[in-house]
A = this chain, B = another copy of it.
Amino acid sequence: VKKRGGGGCATVDLVVVGSVGLDTVETFESRWAERLGGSVSYACAAARLFARPGMVGVVGTDFSVSHRNLYRRLGIDTAGLQVAEGRTFRWSGVYEPDMINRRTLSTELNVFADFRPDLPVSYTEAPFVLLGNIAPALQLHVLRQMRHARFVSADTMDLWIRTAGADLKKVISRVDMLAVNDSEARLLTGEHNLNEAGRRILRMGPRYVAIKKGEHGALLMGEGGTAVVPAFPVDRVRDPTGAGDAFAGACMGFLAARGTATPSVVREAMLLGSVVASFAVETISLDGLSRLTRRQVEVRRRALMAMTPH
């Protein structure tokens, strides 16, 4: 058992890198300000259901103790969470009534602008890595430190596809799985048909590509063939923010717990990612993910299985 100042106490089996932010979100029915968010928060809050995630990110000196305590309470290792002089990253956006499309109102990078993901030495031996949505150059920087990674998954976004294509292609060629949403898959490949887009991404190097389709579930392609991952039909979406990160986090957490990424295990992981994401969107910020138990996940997984042809 290792001990470190940052709050860690057991070896992490999954390293997650991404943003920590304070989100101000408006929907057609309510608004909330400066609630804890960021891709690494959502992904770790989901991954901790299955594994011991270590968080790599940066916050400012204004980051509240209660947020840090939440991470600790959830069993998230924060040895990789840097504190920099200045304000924490902030994002603000408004969702259209469809609760899918959103418009960014403001992005304050703050300490995130100079973020350089240098990992605690202990993290560099972790077997599973989730490269959340940050600049591809930073994802490469993390990859260079992870000499023993057995399975790496990467997220990205339209901004990097448009502005950092060369670095992004390097990332894609070096990871085991790329997780993108349908519009990103299309933008990245110039191909509208998702089967064909998926095949083109696989030709860039990864063993698997997960194409996320929001409320419509996901498509998994690669080793073992294609899998259709259904989404649990939720009654009321309150805050879709972080759903994709929760999906990826749960998926990678499950793989880390199983210690392997065979096609059948990856399929199982995707289904759990889909189920965990359905809880994430039912409440605002991390509220749903923080309260969620493995038992609740299992109940809903079975319900979803019962809804699909069998």
Q: Which positions in A face B, CB cutoff 8 Å?
A: 97-99, 192-196, 213, 215-217, 219, 225-231, 233-237, 267-268, 271, 304-310
Contacts and interface: CB of A to CB of B under 8 A. Distances in A.
Contacts of A267: 309
Contact of A97 (B98, B192, B219, B235): B192
Contact of A228 (B196, B225, B268, B307): B307
Contact of A309 (B193, B215, B305): B305
Closest 4 CB pairs of A and B: A216-B216, A228-B307, A228-B230, A271-B309
A197 to B, nearest CB: 11
Contact of A230 (B215, B234, B309): B309
A210 to B, nearest CB: 13
A229 B308 CA distance: 6
Contacts of A213: 216
B309 A194 contact: no
B192 A234 contact: no
Nearest to A271: B309
A43 B230 CA distance: 27
Contact of A304 (B216, B228, B237): B228
B237 A233 contact: no
B307 A230 contact: no
Tell me how many chains of this kind the complex includes: 2
A308 B217 CA distance: 11
A219 B216 CA distance: 10
10 contacts: A98-B192, A99-B192, A196-B236, A216-B217, A228-B230, A228-B304, A230-B230, A230-B309, A271-B309, A310-B310
A236 B236 CA distance: 34
Contacts of A216: 213, 216-217
A123 to B, nearest CB: 32
A268 B308 CA distance: 10
Contacts of A235: 193, 195-196
A237 B99 CA distance: 28
A228 B193 CA distance: 22
Contacts of A196: 235-236
Given A219-B233, A230-B230, A225 B193 contact: no
A228 B195 CA distance: 21
Nearest to A236: B193
Interface-central residue, A215, A216, A304, by most chain B CB under 10 Å: A216
A308 B308 contact: yes
A192 B236 CA distance: 10
A268 B306 CA distance: 13
Nearest to A306: B225
A195 B233 contact: yes
